[in-house]
């Protein structure tokens, strides 16, 4: 019996030639101009992290030891220039002033008495000279009268020096008493009380911090690659954190040198409207060249972000 052998022959397919794939055209860099294009190159805006700062602030310290006996303003209270902020009283200062005043009065009385003695000595010498002219007086009497006058004048000079010394000491004590009265060097707002009423303080201890808050600035740092975008008078956009409305600011101060460690330049800009901001608040700062157009919405670049520390501008403007 014959066998039927079925041979399975696989279908043969001719190989398909590789089809040419379209070549992708590399995209141009953000700041590169397309070939044959006549449009100018525009610098894209750079974003940094900044901090809102007060244009003027100061920590006031005591120069005398004593006790804080009076606080002239509450926390957050606006004060005018010259207003009393705090008074430090030295326990023995009043007694020292009274003693110095009494010593000065004593020296003044001695000076008055010595001037009377000088007058008497001058009259006696004049009388001896008249007697000598008449041939009655002796040379010894004239020499004695001259010596008494010289002694009286020497005592008067010593008392004059003591009087000046006593006056200087009394003036120093009065200055020390006035130094215990800490007044506002400019109009501002009390930001911090470092010492409560009743605290015992020593020279150099901080007492109160005064800041200007009606006009605020922003400080940020620009890397070396973006220095060509920075110029005094240039405009920047500021977006507070947490997110709020975008504000405008004008660059006022640019540091004269780079920070060696970070290779960044500190820049300070004056905010046009900062009523809703607080000193120390973080913000995003958008910096662009004159040819670039502003973009809507916040711009944040963590690669270029830097938090600027410090609390006041490099150069405080006049009147701030």
Question: Three-state secondary structure along the chain?
Answer: CCCCCCCCCCCCCCCCCCCCCCCCCCCCCCCCCCCCCCCCCCCCCEEEEEEEECCCEEEEECCCCEEEEEECCCCCCEECCCCEEEEEECCCHHHHHHHHHHHHHHHHHHHHHHHHHHHHHHHHHHHHHHHHHCCCCCHHHHHHHHHHHHHHHHHHHHHHHHHHHHHHHHHHHHHHHHHCEEECCCCEEEEEECCCCCCEECCCCEEEEEECCCCCEEEEEEEHHHHHHCCCCCEEEEEECCCCCCEEEEEEEECCCCCCCCCEEEEEEEECCCCCCCCCCEEEEEECCCCCCCCCCCCCCHHHCCCCCCCCCCCCCCCC
Q: Which fold has domain 93-179?
A: 1.20.120
pLDDT bucket at 291, cuts 50 / 70 / 90: very low
Pick the residue with more confidence: 283 or 305?
Answer: 283
CA-CA distance, 186 to 79, in Å (whole number)?
Answer: 8
Residue whose structure tokens are 């020279």: 203
Most trustworthy range by pLDDT among 3-12, 45-54, 210-219, 271-280: 210-219
Q: Tokens at residue 57, please? A: 């602030």
Instruction: List CB contacts of 193: < 8 A, sequence separation 6 or more.
Output: 71, 75, 207, 208
CATH 1.20.120 residue window(s) in the chain = 93-179
CATH 2.40.30.170 residue window(s) in the chain = 46-55+212-304
What pLDDT does 45 receive?
A: 54
pLDDT digits (tens, 9 = 90+) for 125-154: 888 888 878 777 788 888 888 899 899 999
What pLDDT does 186 receive?
A: 93
- For residue 291, what are the CA distances in angstroms to 34, 52, 56, 63, 231? 18, 27, 33, 54, 14
- CATH architecture designation of domain 46-55+212-304: Beta Barrel (2.40)
* Range in 188-192, 205-209, 225-229, 313-317 the model is least confident about: 313-317
How many C-beta neighbours within 10 Å does residue 145 have? Answer: 20
What pLDDT does 288 receive?
A: 61
pLDDT bucket at 37, cuts 50 / 70 / 90: very low
pLDDT digits (tens, 9 = 90+) for 235-267: 999 999 887 788 999 999 999 888 888 889 899
What pLDDT does 34 receive?
A: 42
CA-CA distance, 54 to 77, in Å (whole number)?
Answer: 16
Pick the residue with more confidence: 268 or 170?
Answer: 268
CATH 2.40.50.100 residue window(s) in the chain = 58-88+181-210
pLDDT (mean) for 157-163: 91
pLDDT (mean) for 284-290: 71
pLDDT bucket at 19, cuts 50 / 70 / 90: very low
pLDDT bucket at 161, cuts 50 / 70 / 90: very high
Pick the residue with more confidence: 55 or 289?
Answer: 55
Q: Does domain 58-88+181-210 fall into CATH 2.40.50.100? A: yes
What pLDDT does 46 receive?
A: 67
pLDDT bucket at 287, cuts 50 / 70 / 90: confident
């Amino acid at each position: 019996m014959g066998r039927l052998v079925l041979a399975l022959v696989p279908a043969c397919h001719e190989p398909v030639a590789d089809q040419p794939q379209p070549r992708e055209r590399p995209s141009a860099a953000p700041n590169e101009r397309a070939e044959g294009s006549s449009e100018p190159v525009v610098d894209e805006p750079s974003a940094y992290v900044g901090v809102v700062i007060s244009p003027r602030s100061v920590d006031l310290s005591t120069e005398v030891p004593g006790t804080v006996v009076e606080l002239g303003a509450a926390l957050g209270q606006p004060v005018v220039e010259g207003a009393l902020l705090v008074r430090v009283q030295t326990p023995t200062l009043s007694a020292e002033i009274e003693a110095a005043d009494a010593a000065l009065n004593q020296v003044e009385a001695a000076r008055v008495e010595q001037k009377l003695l000088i007058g008497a000595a001058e009259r006696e010498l004049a009388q001896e000279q008249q007697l000598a002219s008449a041939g009655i007086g002796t040379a010894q009497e004239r020499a004695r009268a001259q010596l008494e006058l010289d002694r009286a004048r020497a005592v008067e000079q010593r008392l004059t020096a003591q009087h000046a010394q006593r006056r200087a000491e009394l003036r120093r004590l009065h200055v020390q008493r006035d130094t215990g009265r800490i007044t506002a060097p400019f109009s501002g707002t009390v930001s911090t009380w470092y010492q409560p009423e009743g605290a015992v303080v020593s020279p150099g201890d901080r007492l109160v911090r005064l800041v200007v808050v009606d006009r605020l600035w922003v400080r940020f740092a620009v890397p070396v690659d973006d220095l060509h975008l920075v110029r005094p008078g240039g405009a920047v956009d500021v977006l507070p954190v947490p997110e709020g409305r975008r504000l405008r600011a004008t660059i006022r101060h640019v540091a004269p040198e780079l920070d060696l460690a970070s290779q960044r330049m500190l820049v300070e800009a004056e905010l046009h409207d900062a009523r809703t901001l607080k000193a120390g608040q973080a913000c995003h700062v958008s910096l662009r060249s004159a040819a670039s157009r502003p973009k809507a919405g916040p711009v944040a670049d963590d690669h270029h972000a830097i938090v600027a520390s410090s609390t006041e501008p490099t150069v405080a403007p006049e009147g701030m």
